[in-house]
Amino acid sequence: MALPAYTIRPALRCLRRAPALGSGSISSSHSFKTSTSKQDEATVETTTSNTPPPPPPDLDPNTVSTRREERLLLRTKGVHPIGSRRRRAALQSSDNVPFEQMPYQCFQEARKVLQEDRESKLEQITEMRRRIARWQNIPAEECGGEVAKKGKLVRMQKYLEELKILADINDPVIKKRFEDGMGDMNRPIYRHLADQKWRAYKRLLLMQRISQMHIVPDILAHLDPTAEVSLGFGRRNVQPGEFVDSRVSEMPARLNIQVFDQSERFVSIAVMDPDVPDEERDTFCSRCHFLAVNIPVSPTSTSVPLSKLNKDDHIVYPWLPPYAQKGAPYHRLTVFVLQQDQTSFSADGRVDVEALRKGMGRRRERFSLRRFTQGKNMHPIGIHLFRSNWDDGTDGVVQRAGIEGFNVEFTRKKPEKLPYKKKDGARYR
């Protein structure tokens, strides 16, 4: 069947005009090639090989405002961004005026009022220090006895610490530095702000987990944490009560113990599992996975990597990887930080590690924290916990650790059915 003439004539007209336009224009505008020629390809290679790589951008922790820039800053310089992302984005377009020189009349007048209040608090601090020094030189007989004198000095010292906090609690510069993570924990005001921030959320969450998982009274009868304890394995931070894979917890954990009072002290760290099945008694017992003593902790010295502790001076029981048998319920691994009282041990508060090893032996099973703290005048100041369950990597972990008796699988015992008893049918007639 022949096509109509009006459909062929436009196509013929275009073909007749093609030679007049020239082959160059057609090839340039209607090229069907998807790859470059060899000559162009060689030119591109020579130009790209001579150009140096672009230098990394100069990132400022005060002005980075995107997630990509934050990750790049942490990866290249190892520095965390300062403040909130909204504040850093606002600083990019600001004139970099110092915070205490903000050109707002109300702000400057308020700072004058706060400065006057701070000067009055400093005068009270000076007067209180003078009174404390005078009371220390007064004989105990004139104060009503040694106990009365000591109690008076303790109350005066406590009031002095409160005055130090009240002198700086309303300073906007202090609050700005604390929010930016630049506070000096040697100063009482920054320790107070850190304590308030911890108690506002993290401590509440921790106490909720302790109550939900029955840490009290299963392990201790009473617990009142006063120090923040953070736990992690490698780069992973563990939240209280979180499930941790056995391959992750195979290596010793790292702790961060933040205390909020000025004094330096020695602490003991105990990691125990209260959910070890006891087949003979048909119950559960506890196991100690790690025990170390004489660890110095202060407000500025908070990092405690368990893998780097000295074996002769600190470690009583080395790290035992947490594990659970197949079919058993999850295990609660609890980390306790115990403060050592100086009056119970040596003059500096240290524990004799060799005597403690001989007294406890090598047996980790049936470890009791109450029995361990009894007679040593230790009290817990911090706690953290995570959970462990049987997973695909448990068999490899226990084999590498040389643990015996791990190839046990627990199954639920089906209840025996009661014998069928046929009732008298006459009673239903």
The confidence band for 32, taking pLDDT boundaries of 50, 70 and 90, is: very low
Task: Tally the residues of the chain.
Answer: 429
Contact 92, 63 (CB under 8 A): yes
User: In whole angstroms, how far apart are CA 329 and each of 268, 325, 326, 410?
Assistant: 29, 9, 9, 9
83-90, long-range: CB < 8 A, 24+ apart? 83/179, 83/180, 88/62, 88/63, 88/64, 89/65
For residue 40, pLDDT beyond 80: no
Class of domain 214-401: alpha beta
Interval 316-338 mean pLDDT? 94
* pLDDT tens digits along 350-389: 888 988 888 887 788 999 999 998 878 889 999 999 999 9
- Segment 128-155 shows an average pLDDT of 92
Tell me the DSSP string of 149-202: HHHHHHHHHHHHHHHHHHHHTT-HHHHHHHHTT---TTSHHHHHHHHHHHHHTH
Q: Using the predicted structure, report yes or no on whether residue 22 has a pLDDT greater than 90.
A: no
- Distance, in Å, from the CA atom of 235 to the CA atom of 253, rounded to the nearest integer, reads 10
E strand or H helix at 90:
helix 85-92
- pLDDT 10s digits, 84-132: 888 788 778 777 777 777 778 888 899 999 999 999 999 999 999 999 9
Give the tens place of pLDDT for each residue, 168-213: 999 988 998 898 888 999 999 999 999 999 999 999 999 999 999 9
Answer whether residue 47 shows pLDDT above 60: no
Q: How confident is the model at residue 3 (pLDDT cuts 50, 70, 90)?
A: low
Residue type, 405: G
Q: Find the range with the poorest average confidence among 9-18, 252-261, 312-321, 350-359.
A: 9-18
pLDDT of amino acid 404 = 82
The DSSP secondary structure of 333-362, one letter per residue, reads: EEEEEEEEPTTTSSTT----HHHHHHHHTT
CA distance 167 to 171: 8
